[in-house]
Structure 1
Amino acid sequence: MRFTCRPLRAAQARDTAAAFLATLQPAPPAYTEENLFLLVSELVTNALRHAGGVTALRLTADRRTLQVRVEDPSPAHPQDRTPDLTGQTGGFGWPMVQRLARTVSVHTKPKGGKVILATLPR
């Protein structure tokens, strides 16, 4: 199963994730669905805030994994930074992505931009 879209807001990406999950048989456990929503929201929000937008969001599934692929126009890789405990500048999202996903990889695209691929166990 594969879904592709180009969300302009994190809410659109979450709606796409919900539609994607509704097609899966058997449905993943609730905690996997929640983790997928968090990954999609965070990766899309980061692309919108820091990378100039989302050029593609692809959600795929096989028997063992769910995959979130977010493409954006910036070649800059995500950076770890000290979280701002005052809530002003963030810094929590990228570490959260790395903890939630089984694997996370970042690839620079030959014609510019990058792809972030995160996988979850199904």
Structure 2
Amino acid sequence: MNTMSITVPTSRAAASVADARESTRHFLHDLQPVVAAEVADTVILVVSELVTNALRHSGGTCTLALTAHPCGVEVAVHDDSPRAPRMRTPDLIGSAGGFGWPMVNHLARSTAVVRRPNGGKTVSAFLDR
């Protein structure tokens, strides 16, 4: 089983999200059997959304963990905020968002939010390989 974990600093959020996407590309590229391009794009999109949300809402750093399983790829983002993502009506005319968590739930086979003993949480998505 292949795994990778990186810490993503909030101090440079936009660059950090780009770094997380690039690290994910490298992780997926090295997997055997090879992951189809469409699957890789979906995993990268989910990484981008979960890392962006963690940086936006946690106020601290987050850690991205990727795990390759025989039938899928698990994306897990750990942050220090106890607040779980929630479904809400997307804001079609403003900048309040609301699109990301429904999208992640649509793309993933399963999602989970686990509160950690230190007060933070882990948000994970399992995507078919």
> Identity rate of aligned residues, in percent?
48
Counterpart Cα distance in 2 of 1:19 and 1:61: 13
Pick the aligned partner of 2:41 from 30, 34, 41.
34
Deviation at 1:87, TM superposition (A): 4.2
Q: Structure 1 runs of 4+ off > 3 angstroms?
A: none
Match of 1:73 in 2: 80
Q: TM-score, normalised by structure 1?
A: 0.95
Matched, 1:121 2:96: no
Equivalent residue runs for 1:32-111 within 5 Å: 32-111=39-118
The answer to whether the aligner puts 1:14 opposite 2:57 as a matched pair is no
Instruction: Show structure 2 runs of 5+ residues with no match.
Output: 10-15
Q: Which moved more, 1:82-91 or 1:61-70?
A: 82-91
Question: Aligned letter for 1:101?
Answer: A
Aligned residue type for 2:78:
E
Q: Structure 2 vs 1, CA of residues 119 and 54 (structure 1 numbering), >3 Å: closer, same or farther?
A: farther
What is residue 12 of structure 2 aligned with on the other side?
Answer: none
For 1:53 and 1:86, locate their aligned partners in 2 and report how far apart those are by CA, in whole Å: 29
Q: For structure 1, list consecutive stretches of 5 or more residues without a partner in the other structure.
A: none
SS for the counterpart of 1:116 is: strand
AA aligned to 1:95 is P
Q: Distance in 2 between matches of 1:55 and 1:40?
A: 12
SS at match of 1:6: strand
For the aligned residue pairs, the C-alpha RMSD in angstroms reads: 1.1
Q: Name whichever structure is richer in helix by fraction.
A: 2
Amino acid at match of 2:118: K
Instruction: Output the TM-score relative to the length of structure 2.
Output: 0.90
